[in-house]
Structure 1
Amino acid sequence: MARGPKLTKQQQRQVDRRRRVGQTPVGDDLLTGVVVTHHGHDLLIEDDVHKLHRARARRTVGRLATGDRIRWRHDDHGHVVVEQREERVNLLVRPDAYGKKKLMAANIDQVIIVTAPLPWMNPEVVERTLVAVLALPARPLILLNKADLLDKTAPADLEEIETTLALWQGLGFPVIWTSVKTGRGMDELETALAGRTSLMIGLSGVGKTSLTREITPLAGDAAIGEISAFNREGTHTTRASTLYRFADMPGGLIDAPGLRDFPLEQVPEEVLDAGFPEIAEAAAYCRFNDCRHMNEPGCAVLAAVDEGKILARRLRQYQELLKTD
């Protein structure tokens, strides 16, 4: 049987190393992996068998986000170097307070918007986030965590929370109520996570990290320690988006730093309609096809607001987002 060319000692060491960890090269001796988290220029990546490696990327690779699929190699000194970034399925970007774009995560199947009775997130922030998720596109999931605190919530606040969640659910957005303390909704959440790469976002203090550690047993072992040390996190602080794998099912969960708002830039009108389906449905009966639902005669949307079928604040937000298109 014909044999291939003889390998150098360095090439043979690389082949032997891959055999030990069960990896497969992808052209030009590159290995595949995923970005788990980053701190400045330092990366933590995951190989094909979910082993973690500290890495650096070539400048030509550009900015990387958690969830990016990459190709890497060991250099002559044994250091892990990211050589390429594969094409992204999607990328969630959020402008910061200074207008600079922050890469939150890439290749996301689902975004979990986590709220809690305290601190309760402004509904308009949730709704802007829903539109951003639909624009990716990805599946949105609204989660009310710390449901055990509802018994201690003031009646007026409780009514607002229940009414708002019922509104979103009635519009077709899935809603789950969870409590790490009582176990409520955890099985339902795990079912929603299985087989998907999900990003979890919300205000600081809503319990995202506690949820992550409850759902992913791997986040309670050496892996979480290595990731926390790499990110220089506190016990209850998430400083950078971080990908965690599940122990007994495919998929993964990305825990992101807390956010207070989700400003949007250009939003396609069809995506906006998906985020405000009650307005899109009523708009089909407007007198004019190009009705902007401001003060046009025969506007079915304004009539629906007057009749209490559409919330005035929802229409106001729709109009504001429409202007950014």
Structure 2
Amino acid sequence: MSKVKKLTKGQQRRIKANHDKKLQTKTTKGSKDKVQWDDDDLGPAQHGTIISRFGQHADVEDELNNIYRCNLRRSIKSLVCGDKVQWRIGKETQHSITGIIEAVHERDSVLSRPDVYDGLKPIAANISQILIVSSVLPVFNSDIIDRYLVAAEQTGITPVIVLNKIDLLTSISVAEQEVIEKQLAIYKDIGYQVLYASSQSRDGISELKSQLSQHTSIFVGQSGVGKSTLVNALMPDVGILTNAVSENSGLGQHTTTVARLYHFNDGGDLIDSPGIREFGLWHLTPEQVCHGFIEFSDFLGLCKFRDCKHQTDPGCALIAAAEDEKINPARLASFQRILASLNDNKLTSRFND
């Protein structure tokens, strides 16, 4: 008998790779292959709304408010909570998957956040209203409100400012109360709607419900302002997790883990999303930031120099307008701080949910 020739290391590697591939195909055949339906295995096309997204799966709500977990066609490049889709139900449920999403309808609006690695990353779609939540405690920060307003103006989605925890106003000084009210008065003068609420005292909750009833809304705001607590007050049957403000840092902790769309009993929808943890503006141009300050519009293009940086430049129309009290100096200062931070690609303008 002739001696068997010894395999080379390269041949051994190729054989092992082919063997592993066969094993993987064999072990996954009972899972992945079974949820790839043929057309004959699917019902007619129907419309639905994405309630939540989980990797390669998504929960779809049909027109009768029934929810189905579905696979995604490979042709779908982007799918987020709030998307309107075309989907088909399978004739049999396979491995908890009941259907497949075939197409995404054109979005009326999309809320995205910048990501260092992925560029602009969509986090929710078809939103008609952004509620920017601030609070009396841990701290009222108008700079963060201004940044959210800029982001909202870029999307074309209507922003509404909410001052939360108004039951705590008596725990701060009169001077601090005056600072908060003065800043909110600036937003009102510009034309923004400002609401007041407290989940503890229930003040303003009915007004907030009325504001939400005809919209698909999303709450944004820095850590600890009480977004989840507000949602629980608005829809107590949902029971979204909340965390108390840290005694050490004075900040809250992010509690939402997966974006999800909820329905209010009185009408309207709410998307609760962890994607609002980071909401930097570093991807915007100075011109885009400028247009995010809507009261500046009458003075844009009037600067002495076309490349005016609106900082200390001579002949700056915005600086002159602030000096003449045609725009508020505090808003101009906030605008200048945002411009100064645009080159920081490390997301200095980062908000924690």
Give TM-score scaled by structure 1 length.
0.75
Q: Does 1:254 align with 2:271?
A: yes
Q: What is aligned with 1:316?
A: 336
Match of 1:125? Answer: 144
**Other-structure match for 2:124:** 105
1:227-271 deviation per Cα after TM superposition (whole angstroms, max 9, x unaligned)? xxxxxxxxx82112211112232x2111222526432423584x6
**Long gaps (5+) in structure 2:** 1-38, 242-253, 345-353
- Tell me if structure 2 keeps the 8 A contact 1:142–1:174: yes
Report how far residue 92 of structure 1 moved: 1.0
Q: 2:160 aligns with which of 141, 148, 153?
A: 141
Closer, same or farther in 2 for the Cα pair 1:70/1:113, shift >3 Å? same
The 1:160–1:97 alpha-carbon spacing in structure 2 relative to 1, beyond 3 Å, is: farther
Structure 1 counterpart SS, 2:231: helix
Letter of the structure 2 residue corresponding to residue 172 of structure 1: G
5+ residue gaps, structure 1, are 1-10, 16-28, 226-235
Query: Does the aligned pair in 2 maintain the 1:179–1:186 contact within 8 Å?
Result: yes
Change in CA separation of 1:193 and 1:323 when aligned onto 2, cut-off 3 Å: same
* Structure with max Cα Rg: 2
3-state SS of paired residue (1:169): helix
Instruction: Say if 1:208 and 1:255, in contact at 8 Å, map to a contact too.
Output: no
Q: What is the aligned-residue RMSD (CA, Å)?
A: 3.3
Aligned mates of 1:149, 1:37 — CA distance in 2: 35
User: Match of 2:111?
Assistant: 92
Count of aligned residue pairs for this structure pair: 287
| Higher mean C-alpha deviation, range 311-320 or range 113-122 | 311-320
Alignment equivalent of 1:298, drawn from 303, 311, 315: 315
Give me the whole-angstrom Cα distance separating, in 2, the residues matched to 1:68 and 1:51: 16
CA distance in 2, matches of 1:198, 1:62: 24
Contact 2:113/2:279 (CA < 8 Å) preserved in 1? Answer: no
Q: Which deviates the most, 304-313 or 187-196?
A: 304-313
CA contact (8 A) 1:35 1:45 kept: yes
The answer on whether the counterparts of 1:128 and 1:264 sit within 8 Å (CA) in structure 2 is: no
Which residue is equivalent to 2:68? 53
Q: Distance in 1 between matches of 2:134 and 2:311?
A: 32
Structure 2 length normalisation: TM-score?
Answer: 0.70
- Give 1:29-40 correspondences, 5 Å limit: 29-40=44-55
Hey, what does 2:227 align to over in structure 1?
Answer: 208
What does the per-residue CA deviation read over 1:185-239, in whole Å, with 9 as the maximum and x for residues that have no partner? Answer: 122212221221111112233222222232236526xxx79xxxxxxxxxx8211
- d(CA) in 2 for partners of 1:63, 1:277: 31
Seen in structure 2, the aligned counterparts of structure 1 residues 278 and 76 have a Cα distance that, compared at 3 Å, is: closer
Displacement of 1:283 in angstroms is 4.4
Match of 1:70 in 2: 85
